[in-house]
């Protein structure tokens, strides 16, 4: 009978435990689902439907592709209004706008004798190896220079047929240039005779697939020129060619005529051959020589579709910008211009002018910023313009950038990184090029060079090339205008004077309006992160003293954690609980108890000026005593020590050291032990 009773008792306990566990699990699941539903509803209502939410216990995990950094920040802010920031795990990624658009695929094959060069961007589905294998069977002695790049995008319509046709055609054209874009193939070749030319043209026309357009430029006999180049110089010695190439007799005549208008009066070897990057080569060279004439001199270099133009040193910046802008607007789309204005002789005390690059930004000592050059798309231009406004202010920015869709991938990121780095300088010049980023200037902080290096290394990658030349000038150091430690503390406590961090009785949670107060404190601490401060937690006198001390410590630490969740550097912050020991109001009233439940900031490691004066006087007395061989304590006034101690206690808070105060504390504690209410 006794065993049966024990068995029944054990069974009841087991069932109770199982039921408790099941109930707790169901409640936890309910809370998770409720939180997840509330968060997801809020995000959708506020337009953040791209987010995904997963709640795991108390942790809220956020993910998804944010269209911008601003959208990510606003989504996090919306969630922080519902849950504590310390419970949020941010896995949101930023979608790079340029990644939303498919690239322009192209394949260029240049065959000259026993060498073949491959240049272009092709889909991974086509495959570099497929192209190499197709060429491999042409000739065992043929060398292939592979400069192909691949990207993971689907093949556009008509691409595969155009590539197959171009590879087959290359086998019959030992001296040729074949360019492939979706649904179109352009073949430029040279043959040994007119009969062979007609035969090749007929063969290509017969083999052309139906969806592919064919452009043929077959000639005989002409050399293949690679790279297709031209160099002209106009200086004090006159105008001359270092090299000259043309794709036709008409283009050759056009180029020489424009050169004579620029001052050329000699005989030029201008070779007519194959390999021109565009049929509008003659037009482009004529336009470029016109720009050299307008500038009054300089050098002009063509290498296929890349143009480098160097202006005379004495060219005015406004004239340079105007002429280069008109020149770029007149060129065929295929060409890319690198225009350079050499620096003028250095002026003492000024930052040397840099060469004008594809994009440059100049920040003057007054904070005025001029942004010039080219950007890839309207979307990236808008984003970069807004970013520069945020860095330098709308009244300080002058933006004259232009759109150039031929710029390389990653160009917006390079420009954004450069602008962020330039903002760290007092004044300077930024130069952004496809393979180099250069920043020169003067800083007003010794750590600016390190910060710039970190920004460029992180944003551009360790393998990217960049040069910095930053000079620190102590006279420009802005530390003199930073708030003093006392001003930092007063600024924060002024926020508390307007809105307290309210805690419910026995609670350490910071939420709702209280968290908004913490957000204001985080903003106020932006230029006070190096100031050592203590976050003091205080309670009223209800409850046991030991419990109140523990509660006040937890509340102070809760504020510290909340600041940390807002990405405030808390290295110089500490949290300390004082319990009920430092009231500022009467604990006998509800209003007084509410005032005593508070958070206060105060400086750490700062001595009161009165103490510093006393210490100085004591040091003087000690020095005099050493000189006279007497004991300084004999000369020191003990009453002065008492005053100093009293002043030091007053700095830290109200004193509880008198017998009367101790009696009040004991009475309060005895009353608290007989009270059921807890703080």
Classify residue 59: in a domain, yes or no.
yes
Phi, psi at residue 619, to the nearest 5°?
-65, -40
Q: Within this chain, do residues 475 and 495 fall inside the same structural domain, yes or no?
A: no
**pLDDT: which is higher, 212 or 457:** 212
Cβ-based neighbour number of residue 547 at 10 Å: 17
Residue 343 DSSP one-character state: P
Query: Residue with structure tokens 């300084």?
Result: 632
State the pTM of this model.
0.27
pLDDT value of position 222? 67
- Residues 43-50 have a mean pLDDT of 78
- Residues 310-334 have a mean pLDDT of 89
- CB–CB of 554/597 below 8 Å? no
pLDDT value of position 529? 82
Q: Within this chain, do residues 317 and 205 fall inside the same structural domain, yes or no?
A: no
Q: Within this chain, do residues 387 and 440 fall inside the same structural domain, yes or no?
A: yes
Classify residue 621: in a domain, yes or no.
no
- Residues 141-165 have a mean pLDDT of 87
Position 643 pLDDT exceeds 70:
no
- Residues 639-646 have a mean pLDDT of 37
Classify residue 675: in a domain, yes or no.
no
pLDDT value of position 334? 87
- Residues 248-263 have a mean pLDDT of 91
Query: Residue with structure tokens 């002058």?
Result: 398
Q: Within this chain, do residues 356 and 264 fall inside the same structural domain, yes or no?
A: no
Domain end call among 289, 306, 339: 339
pLDDT value of position 575? 93
Phi, psi at residue 53, to the nearest 5°?
-125, 135
pLDDT value of position 480? 46
Local confidence band at 298 (pLDDT 50, 70, 90 cut-offs): very high
Poorest-pLDDT segment among 11-20, 188-197, 212-221, 536-545:
11-20
The total number of structural domains that make up the chain: 5
Q: Within this chain, do residues 266 and 356 fall inside the same structural domain, yes or no?
A: no
Classify residue 6: in a domain, yes or no.
no
The C-alpha R_g of the chain, in whole angstroms, comes to: 39
Position 364 pLDDT exceeds 70:
yes
Position 100 pLDDT exceeds 70:
no
- Helix boundaries (H) for 502-544: 513-524
Q: Within this chain, do residues 472 and 489 fall inside the same structural domain, yes or no?
A: no
H or E, element range at 44: helix 2-45
Domain end call among 575, 603, 631: 603
- Residues 379-404 have a mean pLDDT of 89
pLDDT value of position 133? 85
Q: Within this chain, do residues 590 and 516 fall inside the same structural domain, yes or no?
A: yes
Q: Within this chain, do residues 296 and 372 fall inside the same structural domain, yes or no?
A: no
Q: Within this chain, do residues 547 and 583 fall inside the same structural domain, yes or no?
A: yes
Which of 265-279, 454-468, 546-560, 664-678 has the largest mean confidence?
Answer: 546-560
In the chain, % of residues over pLDDT 70: 78
Residue pLDDT, tens place only, 409-443: 889 999 999 999 999 998 999 998 888 888 999 98
Q: CATH number, domain at 173? A: 3.40.1520.20
What percent helix, strand, coil does the chain show, rounded to 5?
45, 25, 35
pLDDT value of position 629? 42
Classify residue 669: in a domain, yes or no.
no
Which of 57-71, 370-384, 445-459 has the largest mean confidence?
Answer: 370-384
Classify residue 187: in a domain, yes or no.
yes
Q: Within this chain, do residues 356 and 461 fall inside the same structural domain, yes or no?
A: yes
- CB–CB of 421/456 below 8 Å? yes
pLDDT value of position 28? 57
**pLDDT: which is higher, 102 or 206:** 206
pLDDT value of position 406? 82
Classify residue 637: in a domain, yes or no.
no
Q: CATH number, domain at 28? A: 1.10.287.4300
Domain end call among 219, 254, 269: 219
Classify residue 679: in a domain, yes or no.
no
- Residues 300-327 have a mean pLDDT of 89
Local confidence band at 354 (pLDDT 50, 70, 90 cut-offs): very low
* Closest among 411, 410, 441, 436 to 423, alpha carbons compared: 441
Position 185 pLDDT exceeds 90:
yes
Q: Within this chain, do residues 400 and 415 fall inside the same structural domain, yes or no?
A: yes
Cα–Cα separations (whole angstroms), residue 103 to 72, 120, 121, 151, 155: 26, 11, 8, 8, 11
Residue pLDDT, tens place only, 565-624: 887 888 888 999 999 999 999 999 988 888 888 899 988 875 544 444 444 444 443 444
pLDDT value of position 342? 83
The boundaries of the domain holding residue 148 are 106-219
Q: Within this chain, do residues 489 and 597 fall inside the same structural domain, yes or no?
A: yes
**pLDDT: which is higher, 162 or 483:** 162
pLDDT value of position 429? 92
**pLDDT: which is higher, 379 or 1:** 379
260 Rama sector, left if φ>0, alpha if ψ -120 to 50, beta otherwise: alpha
pLDDT value of position 553? 93
pLDDT value of position 19? 60
Give me the chain's average pLDDT, please: 78
Residue pLDDT, tens place only, 76-86: 888 787 777 77
- Residues 153-171 have a mean pLDDT of 90
């Amino acid at each position: 009978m006794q065993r049966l009773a024990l068995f029944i008792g054990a069974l009841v306990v087991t069932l109770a435990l199982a039921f408790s566990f099941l109930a707790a699990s169901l409640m936890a699941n309910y809370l998770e689902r409720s939180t997840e539903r509330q968060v997801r509803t809020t995000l959708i209502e506020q337009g953040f439907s791209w987010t995904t939410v997963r709640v795991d216990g108390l942790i809220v995990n956020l993910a998804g592709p944010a269209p911008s950094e601003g959208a990510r920040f606003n989504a996090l802010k919306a969630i922080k209004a519902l849950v504590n920031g310390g419970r949020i795990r941010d896995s949101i990624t930023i979608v790079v706008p340029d990644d939303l658009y498919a690239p322009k695929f192209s394949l260029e094959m240049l065959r000259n004798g026993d060498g073949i060069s491959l240049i272009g961007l092709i889909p991974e589905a086509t495959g570099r190896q497929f192209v190499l294998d197709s060429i491999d069977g042409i000739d065992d002695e043929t060398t292939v220079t592979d400069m192909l790049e691949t990207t993971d995008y689907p093949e556009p319509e008509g691409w595969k047929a155009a590539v197959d046709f171009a590879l087959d055609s290359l086998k019959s054209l030992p001296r040729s240039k074949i360019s492939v874009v979706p649904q179109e193939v352009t073949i430029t070749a040279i043959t040994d005779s007119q009969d062979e030319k007609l035969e090749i043209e007929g063969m290509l026309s017969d083999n052309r697939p139906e969806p592919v357009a064919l452009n043929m430029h077959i000639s005989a006999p002409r050399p293949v020129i690679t790279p297709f180049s031209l160099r002209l110089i106009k200086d004090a010695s006159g105008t001359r060619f270092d090299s000259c190439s043309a794709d036709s007799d008409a283009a050759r005549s056009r180029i020489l005529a424009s050169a004579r208008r620029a001052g050329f009066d000699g005989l030029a070897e201008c070779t007519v051959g194959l390999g021109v990057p565009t049929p509008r080569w003659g037009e482009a060279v004529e336009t470029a020589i016109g720009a050299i004439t307008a500038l009054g001199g300089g050098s002009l270099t063509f290498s296929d579709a890349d143009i480098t133009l160097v202006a005379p040193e004495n060219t005015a910046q406004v004239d340079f910008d105007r002429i280069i802008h008109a020149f770029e607007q007149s060129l065929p789309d295929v060409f890319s211009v690198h225009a350079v204005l050499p620096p003028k002789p250095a002026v003492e005390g000024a930052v040397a002018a840099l060469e004008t690059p594809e994009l440059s930004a100049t920040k003057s000592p007054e904070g005025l910023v001029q942004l010039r050059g080219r950007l890839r798309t309207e979307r990236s231009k808008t984003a970069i313009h807004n970013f520069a406004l945020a860095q330098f202010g709308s009244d300080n920015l002058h933006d004259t950038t232009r759109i150039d869709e031929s710029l390389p991938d990653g160009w917006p990121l390079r420009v954004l990184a450069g602008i962020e780095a330039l903002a760290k300088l007092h004044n300077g010049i930024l130069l952004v090029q496809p393979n180099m980023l250069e920043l020169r200037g003067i800083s007003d902080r010794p750590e600016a060079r390190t910060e710039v290096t970190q920004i460029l290394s992180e944003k551009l990658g360790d393998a990217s090339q960049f040069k910095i030349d930053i000079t620190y000038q102590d006279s420009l150091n802005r530390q003199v205008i930073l708030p003093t430690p006392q001003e930092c503390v007063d600024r924060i406590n002024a926020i508390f004077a307007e809105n307290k961090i309210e805690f419910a009785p026995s609670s350490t949670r910071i939420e709702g309006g209280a968290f908004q107060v913490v957000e204001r404190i985080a903003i106020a601490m932006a230029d006070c992160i190096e100031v050592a401060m203590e976050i003091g937690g205080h309670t009223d006198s209800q409850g046991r003293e030991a419990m109140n001390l523990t509660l006040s410590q937890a509340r102070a630490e809760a504020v510290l954690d909340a600041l940390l969740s807002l990405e405030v550097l808390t290295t110089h912050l500490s949290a300390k609980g004082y319990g009920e020991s430092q009231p500022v109001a009467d604990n006998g009233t509800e209003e007084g108890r509410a005032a005593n439940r508070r958070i206060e900031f105060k400086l750490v490691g700062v001595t009161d000026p009165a103490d510093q004066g006393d210490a100085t006087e004591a040091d003087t007395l000690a020095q005099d005593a050493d000189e006279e061989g007497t004991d300084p304590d004999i000369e020191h006034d003990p009453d002065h020590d008492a005053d100093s101690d009293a002043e030091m206690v007053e700095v830290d808070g109200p004193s509880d050291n008198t017998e009367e105060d101790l009696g009040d504390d004991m009475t309060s504690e005895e009353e608290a032990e007989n009270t059921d209410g807890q703080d």
